[in-house]
Chains A and B, each alone.
Chain A
């Protein structure tokens, strides 16, 4: 059972917008930065969003992050086939004094 809760799956048609949630608590999401990763099958995770809503260079602006209270979200607009894969949120948990990842959300582009 992950400390950060994500829906196991999400889907959308090409061109549509999807959002993936990451629910935590006061000891992690509310008070510490949330980061998002994308992993394609057989690949290494790639940083998509850091510090809640910042994009590393090279990440398209179709990807955006937000946070409110104990919940964070990743939004992907203009869905493309290459967006398929697993998405993970991550944050520090100050109660556990360790890093925590969400369980991951498998995105399917219909």
Chain B
């Protein structure tokens, strides 16, 4: 069965960096684009970033552009989110999510996420 498991969250000071990881299993990892979605405590969902199946294309939400970098290792079946210059409003649960269909890159990327990881909490506090 499809599994996505995030790790790497924790407490960090403003201005510092953190790297999230998402370990995937149960599907052909290298054929799917993957996304990060976050949710601040008590707030709604916010799309963060997407990476194409072959890492050729990446897009970012405006609030993280220039500070976060999405990447993937298809041989290791892992998705990453490098978060630099962290701010208090980056505090959230970060979800690794997979859309329904893989098999190539199409623009715009699909936002039909039928698989979600349990999430990892990032707290940015001074």
A residues bordering B, Cβ < 8 Å?
2, 32-33, 35, 37, 39, 44-45, 47, 50-51, 56, 86, 88, 90-92, 94, 96-104
A-B Cβ contacts below 8 A, count? 66
Give Cα A91–Cα B109 distance, bound, in whole angstroms.
Answer: 10
User: Is B118 positioned at the interface, with any CB of A under 8 Å from its CB?
Assistant: yes
A residues in contact with B61, CB < 8 Å: 98-99
In the complex, are the beta carbons of B50 and A99 less than 8 A apart? yes
Shortest C-beta distance, A79 to chain B (Å), equals 22
B105 at the A interface (CB under 8 A): no
> Which A residues are CB-close (under 8 A) to B59?
97-99
Secondary structure of the A contact surface, majority rule? strand
A33, A88, A99 — most chain B CB neighbours (10 Å): A99
Q: How far is the CA of A92 from the CA of B44 in the complex (A)?
A: 17
- Contact assessment for B116 and A90 in the assembled complex, using a CB-CB cutoff below 8 Å: no
**B84-112 interface with A by 8 A CB criterion:** 95, 100, 108-112
> In the bound complex, do residue B111 and residue A35 qualify as a contact, i.e. CB atoms below 8 Å apart?
yes
Shortest beta-carbon distance from A7 to chain B in Å: 13
